[in-house]
Amino acid sequence: MYIIQTIINGLLLGGVYALLGVGMTMIFGIVKLTNLAHGEFIVLGAYLSVVLAPMLGIDPVLTLFVSVPLMFLAGFLLQYFLIGKAMKKGNEPALLVTFGLSIILQDVMLLIFSADAQHINTSYAVASIRIGELEISVLNIVLFIISISAITALSAFLKYTHTGRAIRATADDTDAAALTGVSVKKVYAIAMGISMASAALAGLCVGMKWTFYPSSGGSYLLIAFVVVVIGGLGSVPGTLIAGILFGMAQVIGGANYGLLISYIMLLIVLIVKPKGIFGK
């Protein structure tokens, strides 16, 4: 029974880790850029939910109807007017721009919200469901549903919509996509918008599960990076599988050895399959 409980906990936790990485894999796979501000975008999404929930008098999950469109718009504009222009001069200037954004966002959040720990409170935070000897957290179930729903919707969007096909074509061959009439600049902006929208979702999840600070972005960026590399750059299904594996490692290893097991797993994947599990 302990093994089943561990598997369930790891699976539910893995959904959150997959959501942390899915925004970064979009930028890695499509824009071919390492977004060093991704962790700060996640923390910003968490703070948006902290502010919006009491302001609107609604459950924190419902704040996604406001935070997701806002973050998508912010990401679109950032890529279209700032990062995209830096990319014309090479990947290094664009990388520095994202690094600068991470510092600016961290300082702004520190100025507005102070360095105090924050947490998104819910009425079901400590509730659980008992099935025989198994005990499953209601909060973990909610977060897993949010994560899987978001990743499934993103996969369907990329596979079945015209914009999604344009995004995949651009990821495969930028020049060929441009020759067929695809606006690469617009596709990149949409990809960044989706990345920041997923960061809003991830921010809500981590904020409901753990405490966070304006400086928490670095740890989330590292987790996202590990998940993306294990799953394969640009692979949304790979990110989901890698997130679940990462979650299993955290549950099995506990607070002391969870990260160690995760990084050993990363090294093994890089040695055996350098492009990741689903990398092409």
- Judge contact between 194 and 65, C-beta under 8 A: no
- What would the two tokens of residue 61 be? 């999950």
Q: Which of 171, 36, 7, 177 is nearest to 95 (CA)?
A: 36
- Judge contact between 110 and 221, C-beta under 8 A: no
For residues 35-61, average pLDDT = 95
* 159-183 tens-digit pLDDT: 999 999 999 999 888 989 998 889 9
pLDDT of residue 19: 94
* 179-196 tens-digit pLDDT: 888 999 999 999 999 999
**2-272 has which CATH code?**
1.10.3470
- The band of 133, judged by pLDDT with boundaries at 50, 70 and 90, is confident
Residues making up the chain, counted from first to last: 280
pLDDT of residue 233: 79
> H helices within the chain, ranges in order?
2-26, 38-56, 64-78, 84-87, 91-113, 138-160, 162-172, 174-179, 184-209, 217-231, 236-272
Which residue is associated with the tokens 């939910």? 49
pLDDT of residue 243: 93
Which residue is associated with the tokens 């919707």? 153
pLDDT of residue 115: 92
CA distance 145 to 12: 9
- Judge contact between 167 and 187, C-beta under 8 A: yes
Handedness of CA 16, 21, 26, 29 (dihedral sign): negative
* 82-116 tens-digit pLDDT: 999 999 898 889 999 999 999 999 999 999 999 99
272 in helix, strand or coil?
Answer: helix
For residues 147-162, average pLDDT = 94
130 in helix, strand or coil?
Answer: strand
* Domain spans in the chain, listed from the N-terminal domain onward: 2-272
The CA dihedral of 49, 53, 55, 56, to the nearest 10 degrees, is: 120
* 237-252 tens-digit pLDDT: 889 999 999 999 888 8
Contacts of 119 (CB under 8 A, 6+ apart): 207, 208, 210, 211, 212
Query: Average pLDDT, whole number, for the chain?
Result: 91
More confident residue, 60 or 125: 60
DSSP state of 250: H
